A and B are shown apart, each in its own frame.
Chain A
């Protein structure tokens, strides 16, 4: 399974933008790039996903490099509730099922 590389931790201030990087140099053409986040003592929560083009939703934006070997999750205006572990995941469908391979993620701290 293709792996992703993320910084162990990042810190930002409330109401400022946050850019969370992810490297996935072994990505294959059919792999989707997914981001999930996990708040303490909770299950992971879907944030955003993309294949080739940049994506926006109500939670975040996903910027994907042209060669697809890296991507960046952008939180436009961080709040204290955004403090979580963020996982960048390459998703491949097996028999239709989405097999997510989680790394250790980036622990994001938001300062008031």
Chain B
């Protein structure tokens, strides 16, 4: 069972570079999320999407962009990377239907270092 898949798992970026973190889910979930987690802290919501073509800002959206062209994919774009964006990034998804309607499924994380 694939669930939520994130790539890459590890990446080192130089200041000012751009990159895209990929996220795909195979559970036909409407809702998808991007979180970041700094060392020793809980997760903070960056962006979320309630369906294809619909995205909205979370708690810490500055420096990031997202798109949702299909139900399965929810890429996170970092423009002009800064050291403050060094973090672990988690993609997640859920649906409102069925017995697991309140369960959010997380990917394994992408470790990003900006130097």
Question: Counting CB contacts under 8 A, is B80 at the interface?
Answer: no
**Is A102 a contact of B44 with CB atoms below 8 Å?**
yes
Output the least CB separation between B15 and chain A (Å). 26
Given known contacts A87-B42, A102-B42, A103-B42, A44 and B106 CB-to-CB distance under 8 angstroms: yes
Output the least CB separation between B40 and chain A (Å). 7
* Interface band, chain A: 20 to 34
The CA of A100 and the CA of B30, in the complex, are separated in Å by: 16
The CA of A97 and the CA of B33, in the complex, are separated in Å by: 9
Q: Which 10 A-B pairs have the closest CB atoms?
A: A102-B42, A43-B106, A102-B43, A46-B103, A97-B31, A95-B50, A44-B106, A43-B90, A97-B50, A97-B48
How many residues of chain B have a CB within 8 Å of chain A? 29
Within 8 A of B (CB), among A89-109: 91, 94-105
Question: Counting CB contacts under 8 A, is B107 at the interface?
Answer: yes
Looking at chain B's contact residues, the main secondary structure is strand
The CA of A104 and the CA of B44, in the complex, are separated in Å by: 11
Question: Counting CB contacts under 8 A, is B25 at the interface?
Answer: no
Instruction: Among B33, B40, B50, B103, point to the contact of A104 (Cβ < 8 A).
Output: B40
Output the least CB separation between B44 and chain A (Å). 7
**Is B31 a contact of A44 with CB atoms below 8 Å?**
no
